[in-house]
Amino acid sequence: MSEHDTNSETLGEPTRRDFLYLTTGMAGAVGAASFVWPFIDQMRPDASTLALASIDVDVSALEPGMSLTVKWRGKPVFIRNRTEKEVEEAKAVQLTDLKDPVARNANIDAAAQATDLARSAGEGKENWIVMIGSCTHLGCVPLGQAGDFGGWFCPCHGSHYDTAGRIRKGPAPANLAVPTYAFTSDTVITIG
Instruction: For residue 12, give every residue at least 6 positions away whose Cβ sits within 8 Å of its Cβ, in sequence order, or none.
Output: none
Q: Is 137 a catalytic residue?
A: no
At residue 165, the 3 state secondary structure works out as coil
- Which residue blocks in 42-137 are alpha helix, DSSP H? 47-51, 84-92, 116-119
Nearest to 80 by CA among 68, 89, 94, 93: 68
Active-site residue among 4, 137, 157, 160? Answer: 157
| Helix-strand-coil split of the chain, %, nearest 5 | 25, 25, 50
Cβ atoms 119, 103 nearer than 8 A: yes
Strand partners, 161: 152, 167
Residues labelled catalytic: 157
